Structure 1
Amino acid sequence: MLKALLEAFKNLFKPIRTIDYPARDITLPQGYRGLIEYDKEACIFCDKCEKVCPPGAIVFYQHPEGEKEYRYNPWVCIYCGECVRACPKPDEALWHSETKQSAAFKEDGVNTEWFEWEAACKASREAYKAAKASAKIQNKSEE
C-alpha cells in the first residue's frame, strides 16, 4: 500500500498526458474514418455495401414498385470501410466523412428500432421476390 501511495504522489508532478476533452476538441488524425455518408442520387443500389458490411449496419428496404430505400445505423457500424471499398462509385455514392458519431442513449431506442427496421427490410425483400415470381408465372400462363 505504501508503494502505491508513493507512486500516486510521484504522478502528481508528472506532465499531463490526457486531452482536456470536451473543453478542447480532439483533432482527428489523417485518414480518420468517421460516419458513412450517402448520396441517393449517385447510388446505383447494387447492394454491395450491404453484403460486405460485417456487423450489418447497412440495409436496403425493397418497395413493391421496385425502388429501394437505404438505411445506415452508425451505432452498429464498426467503421471498417468495407462498404466504401466495395462501392462501385466511391466518393460519389458512399464515403467516410470526418463527422464524429454522437453518443447513443437508451431513450433513443437505437437498437430496438434498428432490429424492427431490419426485420421489415427482410420481409420487404421476400414479398418483392414472391410478387416478382408470381408475376413471372402469370405472364407465362398468359402466353
Structure 2
Amino acid sequence: MFRSMFNAFANLFRPVRTHPYPAEPMPLPTAWRGLIEYNEEACIFCDKCEKACPPKSIRFFQHEDGRKEYRYNAWLCIYCGECVRACPKPEEALWQSETKARPAVKADNVNGGWFDWEAECAQSRDDYAAAKKAARAAKKNEGA
C-alpha cells in the first residue's frame, strides 16, 4: 500500500507523457485514410465503387432518363479504401482525403434516412431496368 502511494505521489512530479490532444491536433500517420471525396464531373458512373464497398456506404440512384446520383454515408464507411482502388479514375473522381472521420457518436436517426435511400436506390434500378425492357419491347413491336 505504501509503495502504491509513493508511486502515485512520485507521478505528480514527473513530466506528462500523453499528447495534449485538445490543445494540439494529433499528427496523422503517413498511411492515413480519411473521408471519401468525390468529384461528380470526373466520375464515369461505372458503379465499381458501389460494388467494391464492403459496408455498402456508396449508392447510386438511377433516374428514368439514365442519369445517376451519387450518395455516400460517412457514418457507415469503414475507410478501407476499396472503393478508391476499384475506381478507374482514382485521384480524379474518387479519393481519400486527409479529413478526419467523423466521431462515432450516438445521434438521432443517423442511418434511418440512409436505409430509406438504399431502398429507393434499389427500386430506382429496378424501375430503370423495367423501363428499358419496355422500350425495347415497344421498339421490337414497331419493327414487326
2:33 paired residue number:
33
2:59 paired residue number:
59
Matched, 1:17 2:29: no
Share of identical aligned residues, percent?
Answer: 58
1:118 paired residue number:
118
Distance (Å, rounded) in 2 between the aligned partners of 1:112 and 1:137: 38
2:107 paired residue number:
106
Q: Using a 3 Å threshold, how does the CA distance of structure 1 residues 138 and 100 change in structure 2: closer, same or farther?
A: same
Distance (Å, rounded) in 1 between the aligned partners of 2:62 and 2:11: 59
Is 98-107 or 130-139 further displaced after alignment?
A: 98-107
Structure 2 unmatched runs, 5+: none
TM-score (norm 1): 0.88
Distance (Å, rounded) in 2 between the aligned partners of 1:7 and 1:95: 53
Matched, 1:49 2:59: no
Structure 1 unmatched runs, 5+: none
Counterpart mapping for 1:123-138 below 5 A: 123-138=123-138
Aligned residues of 2:74 and 2:102 also touching (Cα < 8 A):
no
TM-score (norm 2): 0.88
Q: CA RMSD in A?
A: 2.1
Structure (1 or 2) with the larger CA radius of gyration? 2
Number of residue pairs matched by the alignment:
141
Distance (Å, rounded) in 2 between the aligned partners of 1:54 and 1:7: 51
Q: Secondary structure at the residue paired with 1:70?
A: strand
Query: What amino acid sits opposite 1:106 in the alignment?
Result: A
Distance (Å, rounded) in 1 between the aligned partners of 2:138 and 2:3: 80
Query: What amino acid sits opposite 2:121 in the alignment?
Result: C
